[in-house]
Amino acid sequence: MILKNLLFKGELTDITIEDGKIAAIAPASAGTEGKDCSGLSVIPGLVDMHTHGCVGYDTMDAHFEEMSAFLAQNGTTSWLPTTMTMDYDSIRRVTEASRDVSGAQILGFHMEGPYINATRKGAQNGKFIKNPDLEEFKTLDGMRVVTIAPELEGGMDFIRGTDALVCIGHTDADYETCIEAIEAGANCLTHTFNAMPGIHHRSPGPIGAAVEKNIYAQAITDGLHLHPAVVLMLYKLFGTERMVIISDAMRATGLGDGTYEFGGQDIIVKDGVARTLDGAIAGSTSTLWRCVKQAASFGIPFEDAVTMATRTPADMIGATSKGRIEVGADADLILLDKNLEIERVMIAGKFIEERDEQHRRYLEEKEIVRSITARFHTTGTFVAHEVINQGNINTTYRVDFRQDNGSIKSYILQKVNTYVFRNPKEIMENIRKVTEHLRGKVRRMNKPALHFYATDTGENYYIENDSTFWRLENCIDGIGYDTCDSLEILRNAGAAFGEFQNQLSDFDASTLFTTIPDFHNTVKRLDALFAAVEADSCGRAASVQAEIDFIRANRELASQLTIMQENGEVPLRVTHNDTKINNVLFSRDTGVPLTVIDLDTVMPGLAMHDFGDAVRFAASTAREDEPNLEKVAFDLEKYRAFAEGFIGKTADALTEKEIRTMALGAITITIELAARFLADYLTGDQYFKISYPEHNLVRTRCQLALAKDMLNKRDRMEGIVREIVASV
Ligand code: GN1
Ligand code: MG
C-alpha cells in the first residue's frame, strides 16, 4: 500500500507500506496507484508505557479489547497495560489474559507496585504493598517494566537480578539511595515528582539523581499532575531523549464524572480530576494524545512533545520498531489535519477502521455472552468475556464478574455442540448425577468440585431460541497442560484419571444415558470411515489413499478390544472417555491434580480406552495436530510415568485381561481417532472444529505417525505395564 501526499517533517511525500512495515518514504514514481492523503500530516503512533484504563475498564480487569480499541481511536497504537498494587493472583491474571486485540498493540506489561513505599503510595492500595520479591516477579509472564521503591528491603538485589526495565517510583528514597539504584540498573523515574520526594537544594532526591545519571523520566503532562512550568523544567532537564510523556490514565478516561473502582478502592472523578477518598490524585483521565497537546500548549515544541510520547518510550522499553517513521519500522501512524486533530490511525499497516470488523465481532459475541450468562444465577456485575481455546467440540468462554469487594469471580460458559451431542439435556442429566456422586468424595479430599449453575427455571442449562444450548459452571483456578514434559505431572495426571475411575466404581452405570452411541466402538468407527471413503462426498478420498491403506491394514488389530468387550471378555466400567491431559486441572501452588473436567462423555466404557487416549495425547512428543511428522514420536518415559500413576490407582480393580490389553488400548484409540479425523475430513469437516482447511488431515497424519511408532514399541509398552503391575 502507498499513502500519497503526506506531510512528513514539513515536506510532501509518499509512504510505502509492506507487510505492516514502512518500506519506503519517498515520492512514488509517477503513475503508481495509492491512497491520496491530500496533505494530511503524519506522525508515529503513540506509545503509552504507563496507563491503567479507559472507557470503564482497568488493566486489572484483565480484558484488553475495549481499552485497546479506545486507545487506538485516540492515537495510542501500542501500550503497556499497567497493573496496580494488588494481590499476586490478580496481577497474574492480567499477564495471562489474551493480548490478541483489534486496537492498540500490547507490548508487555508495566507492574506498578506492590513493591513500593507505603508512605508514598498515592492512589495505590496500601493493603497489598510488600517488599520486592524477585522470585515472585519472575513468574509473571510479559512484565517488561516494573516500578519499585529501591529503599525497600531487597530493593537493590531485585534491581540487579531482574531483566525487566526498572523505574524508581512511589518511593521515599533519597539522592544517595537513588544513585545506588541507578548504578544497580534502574533506568527511569515513574511519574516524576508525583509520589516521590521533590528537589531540595540540600537534598536533591530521586530527581537530582536522575538528572545527574541521565536516566529516563516519565511525566504526566495533563496539566493537573504537574504545573506547566514543571513540565517545561523537566523538558529542559531531560530533553526529548529522556523525557517520556505518559497518560497514567484510569478507567474513567473517555467517560464522565462519577465514582469508579481503582485497585480495589473507590475513586471519585469530579470535573475530570480523579481522587481517592483521602484526596490523593488517582491517575489521570486524559488520553496520551491530550497529554501531548497539553505539553505543547505549555511551550514544548509540538514535534518534541510527539517524540517524547513515541520514539523515546519505545527506545526506553526496547521496542525499537515502534514510535518512529523510518524504513523498516512498524507502520503505526497517525494522520493529522491542519488543526492537529486526529484524522486517521494506522496500526501495523492497517487503518483501524479495517480492524473494526474484529472489534465488531467481539462486541457482538460479548453481548451474546452477557445476555446468556444473565439467565443463570450468578453474583456480581458482568465485566467481560474471553474465548477459551480448549477442546475440539464445544465453544467455551470464561466470563468475569466483579464482586462488591472489587475482586473478580470467573465462570465458565459453554455452548454445547449439538451436532455432536444430539441430546444435550441427557448429558446434563448424566453430569448432574456424576457430579453429585463425586461431590461428597471430592470434598472429603479437600478438593474443588465441579458445579453447574441453575437458571431461574431451575435447569442446569439454558436453551436460547430453541436452538443453542448453554451451560454455566464454576471456574476452578488451576492449570491445564496441552503438552507436558514433566514426568511428575504426567504421573499425577495418570493418578487423577485412575482416581476418577475408582470414584465412579460404585456408580450405577445403568442410570447413565448413552450420550454418543458407540463412541469408542472401533469396529463401527472404522466402518464409518470406509463408508465415507466409498461415498467420497467431497472428492477428497483419492488424496488420502496411503492413510486409508494403513488403517485398513490394521483394521483387525484395532477391532480386537471392541470384539472382546462384546464377547464379555473385558468389563464395561463407568469411564471418562475423553482423557486428554488438559482435562485435568492442577493446583498452581502445589502441582497436585485438583479435578478432572469435561464430563460430557462419561459413559460405560473400557478402562483401556481411558488409559490409551490419555497416553496417546500426553506421551506424544508433539501436539495432536503437529504438521511436521518428524517431530511426532511416542515417548516411553512419558508413557511409563502416566502408567505408573494410572495403574498405581487402578491395579487392584483391573482384571488380568484389562492389564494385558492396556498398551493395545493406546494403539486402538490412536488408530480410531485417526479414522475419526479422516472420516470428518472426507465428509466436509462437520464434527471437529478446524482452524484451517486441511486441519483434520493434518490431525489424521499426526495420529497415524504416532500409531506407527506405538506399533514399533508395542513390546516395550506391554513390558512397562507388566513391570508396574509387579511393583504395586
Ligand atoms: C474431542 O472436545 P474435546 O477436544 O475434549 C473428542 C474426543 C477426541 C478429541 C481429540 C465428544 O474432544 O473424542 O479424542 O476431540 N470428543 C468428542 O482431540 O468427540
Ligand atoms: Mg470433550
- The number of the ligand 1 atom at minimal distance from the alpha carbon of 687 is 19
**Concatenated DSSP letters of 311-375:** HHHHHHHT-TTSS--STTSB--EEEE-TTS-EEEEEETTEEHHHHHHHHHHHHHHHHHHHHHHTT
Among 48, 58, 248, 680, which one carries the catalytic annotation? 248
For 521, phi then psi, to 5°, come to -85, 95
Residues contacting 195, CB < 8 A, separation 6+? 120, 121, 122, 169, 170, 171
- Give residue 31's pLDDT: 80
Q: Identify the CATH assignment for 487-727 out of 3.30.70.2740, 3.40.190.10, 3.30.420.40, 3.90.1200.10.
A: 3.90.1200.10
Quick check: helix, strand or coil at residue 602? coil
Angle at 272 between CA 78 and CA 51, to 5 degrees: 20
- Give residue 279's pLDDT: 87
Establish whether residue 392 lines the binding site of ligand 1, counting it when its CB lies within 6 angstroms of any ligand atom: yes
339 CA to centre of ligand 1 in angstroms: 58
| Topology given in CATH for the domain delimited by 41-331 | TIM Barrel (3.20.20)
**Concatenated DSSP letters of 683-714:** TTS-SS--SSTTHHHHHHHHHHHHHHHHHHTH
Q: Which single residue is written with the C-alpha cell 510527539?
A: 306
Nearest CA to ligand 1 atom 1: 392
- Whether the CB-CB separation of 345 and 334 falls below 8 Å is answered with yes
578 CA to centre of ligand 2 in angstroms: 6
Ligand that lies nearest to the alpha carbon of residue 418, given by its number in the listed order = 1
Helix-helix angle 607-618:662-682, to 10 degrees: 70
Residues contacting 495, CB < 8 A, separation 6+? 593, 645, 646, 648, 649
Helix-helix angle 205-213:175-184, to 10 degrees: 40
DSSP β-ladder status, 165-168 and 143-148: parallel
Q: Which single residue is written with the C-alpha cell 497517525?
A: 334
Ligand that lies nearest to the alpha carbon of residue 515, given by its number in the listed order = 1
Residue 648 CA to residue 658 CA, distance in Å, equals: 14
* CA dihedral angle for residue 663, residue 668, residue 671, residue 677, rounded to 10 degrees: -120
356 CA to centre of ligand 2 in angstroms: 33
- Give residue 443's pLDDT: 80
**Concatenated DSSP letters of 452-466:** B--BTTS-SSEEETT
Domain layout of the chain by residue ranges: 41-331, 374-474, 487-727
Nearest CA to ligand 1 atom 13: 578
Cell digits for 718?
506391554
3-state secondary structure 512-547: CCCCCCCCCCHHHHHHHHHHHHHHCCCCCHHHHHHH
- Whether the CB-CB separation of 149 and 171 falls below 8 Å is answered with yes
Quick check: helix, strand or coil at residue 109? strand
595 CA to centre of ligand 2 in angstroms: 15
Regions of the chain with pLDDT less than 50? none
- Give residue 446's pLDDT: 82
- Give residue 457's pLDDT: 94
Residue 94 CA to residue 35 CA, distance in Å, equals: 39
680 in active site:
no
- Whether the CB-CB separation of 647 and 728 falls below 8 Å is answered with yes
Signed CA dihedral, 658, 664, 667, 673: sign only:
negative
Residue 54 CA to residue 69 CA, distance in Å, equals: 10
Nearest CA to ligand 1 atom 17: 393
Please name the helix (run of DSSP H) or strand (run of DSSP E) that holds residue 566, with its range, or none.
Answer: helix 555-566
DSSP 214: T
Task: Look up residue 101 and give its amino acid.
Answer: V
Establish whether residue 612 lines the binding site of ligand 1, counting it when its CB lies within 6 angstroms of any ligand atom: no
- Give residue 33's pLDDT: 86
- Give residue 393's pLDDT: 96
Beta-bridge partner residues of 51: 81
Q: Which mutation among 388, 390, 392, 689 tests ligand 1's pocket best, with the greatest number of atoms within 8 A of CB?
A: 392
Q: Identify the CATH assignment for 374-474 out of 3.40.50.2300, 3.30.200.20, 3.10.129.10, 2.30.110.10.
A: 3.30.200.20
Signed CA dihedral, 579, 581, 587, 591: sign only:
positive
Model confidence pLDDT, tens digit, residues 409-427: 999 999 999 999 999 999 9
Q: Which mutation among 430, 578, 582, 696 tests ligand 1's pocket best, with the greatest number of atoms within 8 A of CB?
A: 578
- Give residue 28's pLDDT: 87
359 CA to centre of ligand 1 in angstroms: 30
